[in-house]
Amino acid sequence: KRWFSSSFCLAHGNALERLSHLLRHLMWRSTKANQLVRQQMGIPDMEEKKVKLQFSSVEKYFYDQLYEETAGAAHRVMGSKKKAKDSVLLNQSLHKLRAACCHPQVGTSGIGGRVRR
Protein backbone atom coordinates (compact mmCIF):
# COMPACT_ATOMS: atom_id res chain seq x y z
CA LYS A 1 0.00 0.00 0.00
CA ARG A 2 2.81 2.38 0.85
CA TRP A 3 4.53 2.12 -2.57
CA PHE A 4 1.14 2.61 -4.25
CA SER A 5 0.39 5.81 -2.39
CA SER A 6 3.94 7.06 -2.82
CA SER A 7 3.53 6.65 -6.59
CA PHE A 8 1.12 9.56 -6.60
CA CYS A 9 3.48 11.81 -4.67
CA LEU A 10 4.29 14.93 -6.67
CA ALA A 11 7.91 14.68 -5.57
CA HIS A 12 8.51 11.95 -8.16
CA GLY A 13 8.28 14.49 -10.97
CA ASN A 14 5.87 14.53 -13.89
CA ALA A 15 2.99 12.16 -14.46
CA LEU A 16 5.03 9.81 -16.66
CA GLU A 17 7.68 9.36 -13.97
CA ARG A 18 5.02 8.72 -11.32
CA LEU A 19 3.32 6.17 -13.57
CA SER A 20 6.68 4.52 -14.24
CA HIS A 21 7.36 4.35 -10.50
CA LEU A 22 3.95 2.75 -9.94
CA LEU A 23 4.18 0.22 -12.77
CA ARG A 24 7.77 -0.78 -11.96
CA HIS A 25 6.44 -2.75 -8.99
CA LEU A 26 3.56 -4.29 -10.92
CA MET A 27 5.02 -5.32 -14.24
CA TRP A 28 7.58 -8.03 -14.83
CA ARG A 29 10.24 -7.45 -17.46
CA SER A 30 11.61 -10.75 -18.65
CA THR A 31 13.21 -9.89 -21.96
CA LYS A 32 16.97 -10.23 -21.94
CA ALA A 33 17.35 -8.21 -25.14
CA ASN A 34 17.27 -4.99 -23.10
CA GLN A 35 20.71 -4.10 -21.64
CA LEU A 36 19.12 -2.65 -18.48
CA VAL A 37 17.22 -5.88 -17.81
CA ARG A 38 20.39 -7.95 -18.29
CA GLN A 39 22.19 -5.73 -15.78
CA GLN A 40 19.34 -6.00 -13.27
CA MET A 41 19.27 -9.79 -13.64
CA GLY A 42 23.05 -10.02 -13.35
CA ILE A 43 23.45 -11.69 -16.74
CA PRO A 44 26.96 -11.20 -18.14
CA ASP A 45 27.45 -9.95 -21.69
CA MET A 46 27.64 -12.63 -24.35
CA GLU A 47 31.05 -13.74 -25.41
CA GLU A 48 31.87 -15.26 -28.78
CA LYS A 49 34.63 -17.83 -29.03
CA LYS A 50 35.80 -19.22 -32.33
CA VAL A 51 37.51 -22.58 -32.36
CA LYS A 52 39.09 -24.02 -35.48
CA LEU A 53 38.45 -27.73 -35.84
CA GLN A 54 40.80 -30.26 -37.29
CA PHE A 55 38.63 -32.94 -38.89
CA SER A 56 39.80 -36.48 -39.32
CA SER A 57 39.74 -37.70 -42.93
CA VAL A 58 36.37 -39.43 -42.40
CA GLU A 59 34.88 -36.36 -40.69
CA LYS A 60 36.19 -34.10 -43.45
CA TYR A 61 34.70 -36.34 -46.13
CA PHE A 62 31.32 -36.33 -44.36
CA TYR A 63 31.44 -32.54 -43.85
CA ASP A 64 32.36 -31.96 -47.50
CA GLN A 65 29.43 -34.14 -48.61
CA LEU A 66 27.03 -32.14 -46.43
CA TYR A 67 28.55 -28.88 -47.65
CA GLU A 68 27.93 -29.86 -51.28
CA GLU A 69 24.36 -30.91 -50.43
CA THR A 70 23.75 -27.57 -48.70
CA ALA A 71 25.25 -25.55 -51.56
CA GLY A 72 22.98 -27.44 -53.98
CA ALA A 73 19.95 -26.71 -51.80
CA ALA A 74 20.90 -23.01 -51.75
CA HIS A 75 21.13 -22.93 -55.55
CA ARG A 76 17.74 -24.64 -55.82
CA VAL A 77 16.16 -22.04 -53.53
CA MET A 78 17.57 -19.17 -55.58
CA GLY A 79 16.21 -20.56 -58.85
CA SER A 80 13.01 -22.13 -57.57
CA LYS A 81 9.41 -21.11 -57.88
CA LYS A 82 8.55 -23.33 -54.91
CA LYS A 83 10.64 -21.32 -52.48
CA ALA A 84 8.76 -22.41 -49.35
CA LYS A 85 9.40 -26.13 -49.86
CA ASP A 86 12.99 -25.64 -51.01
CA SER A 87 13.65 -23.22 -48.13
CA VAL A 88 12.64 -25.94 -45.67
CA LEU A 89 15.10 -28.34 -47.31
CA LEU A 90 17.83 -25.69 -47.22
CA ASN A 91 17.14 -25.04 -43.55
CA GLN A 92 17.40 -28.76 -42.80
CA SER A 93 20.68 -28.97 -44.72
CA LEU A 94 22.08 -25.99 -42.81
CA HIS A 95 21.15 -27.61 -39.50
CA LYS A 96 22.88 -30.85 -40.53
CA LEU A 97 25.97 -28.91 -41.63
CA ARG A 98 26.11 -27.03 -38.34
CA ALA A 99 25.66 -30.26 -36.36
CA ALA A 100 28.45 -31.91 -38.35
CA CYS A 101 30.74 -28.98 -37.57
CA CYS A 102 29.85 -28.80 -33.87
CA HIS A 103 29.86 -32.58 -33.32
CA PRO A 104 31.97 -34.13 -36.09
CA GLN A 105 32.41 -37.44 -34.29
CA VAL A 106 28.62 -37.95 -34.19
CA GLY A 107 27.96 -36.92 -37.77
CA THR A 108 30.28 -39.46 -39.35
CA SER A 109 27.78 -42.21 -38.63
CA GLY A 110 25.60 -40.58 -41.29
CA ILE A 111 27.89 -41.76 -44.09
CA GLY A 112 26.78 -45.35 -44.04
CA GLY A 113 23.85 -45.20 -41.69
CA ARG A 114 24.35 -46.64 -38.24
CA VAL A 115 27.69 -47.65 -36.87
CA ARG A 116 27.78 -51.35 -35.98
CA ARG A 117 29.23 -52.41 -32.68
Q: What is the pLDDT of residues 69-99, one digit of tens each?
A: 999 888 888 887 777 777 888 899 999 888 8
What span, in angstroms and rounded, lies between the C-alpha atoms of 69 and 67? 5
Collect contacts of 53-57 with beta carbons under 8 A, ≥24 apart. 53/101, 53/104, 55/104, 56/104
Of residues 107 and 51, more confidence is placed in 51
Q: What is the pLDDT of residues 18-68, one digit of tens each?
A: 777 777 767 766 666 677 777 877 878 888 888 887 888 888 888 899 999
Task: Please say whether the beta carbons of 39 and 90 come within 8 A.
Answer: no
What span, in angstroms and rounded, lies between the C-alpha atoms of 25 and 82? 50
100 CB-contact burial (10 Å; exposed 0-12 / middle 13-18 / buried 19+): buried
90 CB-contact burial (10 Å; exposed 0-12 / middle 13-18 / buried 19+): buried
Of residues 3 and 58, more confidence is placed in 58
**Does position 103 have pLDDT exceeding 60, yes or no?**
yes
Of residues 105 and 45, more confidence is placed in 45
**Does position 1 have pLDDT exceeding 50, yes or no?**
yes
In degrees rounded to 5, what are phi and psi of residue 31? -80, 130
Task: Please say whether the beta carbons of 83 and 77 come within 8 A.
Answer: yes
What span, in angstroms and rounded, lies between the C-alpha atoms of 44 and 16? 30
